[in-house]
């Protein structure tokens, strides 16, 4: 059985706490006088360069990673113990691991989603960007930087604000925001989406225009989002997952449709709250959206254990438009990820070490082994960088750090 050191929604089908593969962290740094987001998918990297970049990143301790520039520099903390304070020492190396040099003078500014324990995005800040310099000195967190606007939270006044980079304009979007799930904040087109807790343990989903006007309740039955395939809106970017930590996902919106889990099951509705439709009533475990379908493990009674239930049951697929769900696996099969047409799942049991396999939904009986079963050995997935699984392997209380390609090749022991 795979051991996961994280909170899980699997303990109860209506629980809205974290699940593995929670958030996609795009490591990016922008270097220009005009701030704009640059992800690895937008960088002019060749395929071989991207492979070298992911190889280098996957071999670095995750707690040291700082960001990746559009020029191919990887920034990292030389003293990871100081990465949350001003004692940090920042260094940089090229995508291929060469040219280790000082990075302290590159004037990076922290951009992180509140609640996130891992992964940060950083921007290069010119001196004229008055608002960012001010925010850096205040008790505030930057949420997004979009088209010259900064979305941020002030913790003393508990407000969500939007301001121009040059400080010339600022407006309050949400006041008295102490009960907002900050990690849910999502900017989509001309609207801000976010959730607030209900008294019954669920949440309500709201949206407002970016100027704070037009606040609208979309649903009072929102529980949590559906994990997008890595990041369905930024295909082919450089990914950075963390299995052990992470914050809640943002709202899952694809082509003007919101996909989420409600009190009744997997649900879809338009971004204006109209045309709400229940896709499946089955009790669910982990779930991921990829292409035209949602893939999920089911809540089932464990064989030969009467009254004991878990969310590692057979995996199903349901179309985004609805219809009869398709059963893809039998028995214990905990879904781990969905990527580029492949379903990644653990097969095994609660009493034996598991095997990480992958298959395509068109032929689910044809399986490929990614991490094989080893007697008296179990593994702990740590992160995914590029097309590498990075994990810890344990036997007789001895830990070995390893990484392996998505196709199961190039299994490597990390130093």
Give the integer Cα–Cα distance in Å for 165 and 129: 5
Give the integer Cα–Cα distance in Å for 370 and 337: 12
* Beta strand 398-405 pairing with 388-395: antiparallel
Can you give the length of the chain in residues?
415
Indicate the domain borders of the chain. 9-413
Give the integer Cα–Cα distance in Å for 372 and 211: 53
Q: Which residue is associated with the tokens 């409600």?
A: 262
CA proximity to 349, closest of 361, 331, 365: 331
Structure confidence by residue, pLDDT tens digits, 79-119: 655 444 444 577 888 988 899 998 877 765 544 433 333 33
CATH architecture of 9-413: 7 Propeller (2.130)
Give the integer Cα–Cα distance in Å for 290 and 385: 19
pTM for this predicted structure: 0.73
Give the integer Cα–Cα distance in Å for 14 and 18: 12
Structure confidence by residue, pLDDT tens digits, 208-234: 998 888 999 999 989 888 876 543 322
SS3 182: strand
Give the integer Cα–Cα distance in Å for 224 and 259: 9
For the chain of 415 residues, list the mean pLDDT of each consecutive stretch of 10. 30 26 25 28 58 79 67 73 54 89 70 37 49 67 72 76 80 74 79 85 88 90 75 35 42 90 90 94 81 86 69 87 92 82 81 82 92 83 78 87 90 84
Contact between residue 344 and residue 356 where contact means Cβ atoms under 8 Å apart: yes
SS3 396: coil
DSSP state of 341: T
Torsion of CA 196, 199, 203, 204, to 10 degrees: -70
Beta bridge partners of 139: none
């Amino acid at each position: 059985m795979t051991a996961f050191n994280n909170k899980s929604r699997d303990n109860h089908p209506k629980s809205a706490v974290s699940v593995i593969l929670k958030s996609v962290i795009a490591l990016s740094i922008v270097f220009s006088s005009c701030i704009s987001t640059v992800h690895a998918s937008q960088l002019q990297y060749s395929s071989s360069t991207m492979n070298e970049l992911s190889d280098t990143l996957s071999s670095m301790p995750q707690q040291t990673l700082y960001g990746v520039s559009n020029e191919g520099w990887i920034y990292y903390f030389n003293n990871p113990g100081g990465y949350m304070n001003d004692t940090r020492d920042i260094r940089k190396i090229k995508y291929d691991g060469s040219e280790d040099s000082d990075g302290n003078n590159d004037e990076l500014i922290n951009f992180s989603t509140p609640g996130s324990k891992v992964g940060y995005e950083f921007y290069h800040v010119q001196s004229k960007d008055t608002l960012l310099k001010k925010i850096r000195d205040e008790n505030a967190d930057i949420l997004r930087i979009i088209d010259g606007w900064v979305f941020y939270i002030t913790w003393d006044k508990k407000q969500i604000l939007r301001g121009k980079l040059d400080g010339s304009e600022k407006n309050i979007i949400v006041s008295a925001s102490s009960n907002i799930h900050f990690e849910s904040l999502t900017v989509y087109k001309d609207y801000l989406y976010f959730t607030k807790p209900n008294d019954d343990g669920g949440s309500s989903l709201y949206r407002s225009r970016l100027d704070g006007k037009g606040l609208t309740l979309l649903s009072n039955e929102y529980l949590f989002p559906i994990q997008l395939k890595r990041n369905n809106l930024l295909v082919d970017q450089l990914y950075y997952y963390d299995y052990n930590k992470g914050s809640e996902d943002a709202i899952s919106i694809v082509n003007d449709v919101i996909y989420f889990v409600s009190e009744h099951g997997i649900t879809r509705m338009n971004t204006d709250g109209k045309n709400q439709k229940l896709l499946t009533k089955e009790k669910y475990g982990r779930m991921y959206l990829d292409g035209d379908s949602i893939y999920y493990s089911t809540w089932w009674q464990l064989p030969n254990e009467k009254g004991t239930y878990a969310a590692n049951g057979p995996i199903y697929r349901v179309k985004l438009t609805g219809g009869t769900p398709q059963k893809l696996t039998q028995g214990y099969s905990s879904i781990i990820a969905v990527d580029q047409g492949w379903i990644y799942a653990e097969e095994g049991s609660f009493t034996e070490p598991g095997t990480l396999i992958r298959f395509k939904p068109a032929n689910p009986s044809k399986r490929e082994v990614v991490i094989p079963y080893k007697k008296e050995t179990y593994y702990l997935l740590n992160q995914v960088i590029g097309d590498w699984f990075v994990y810890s392997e344990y036997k007789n209380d001895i830990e070995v750090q390893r990484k392996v390609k998505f196709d199961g090749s190039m299994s490597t022991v990390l130093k």
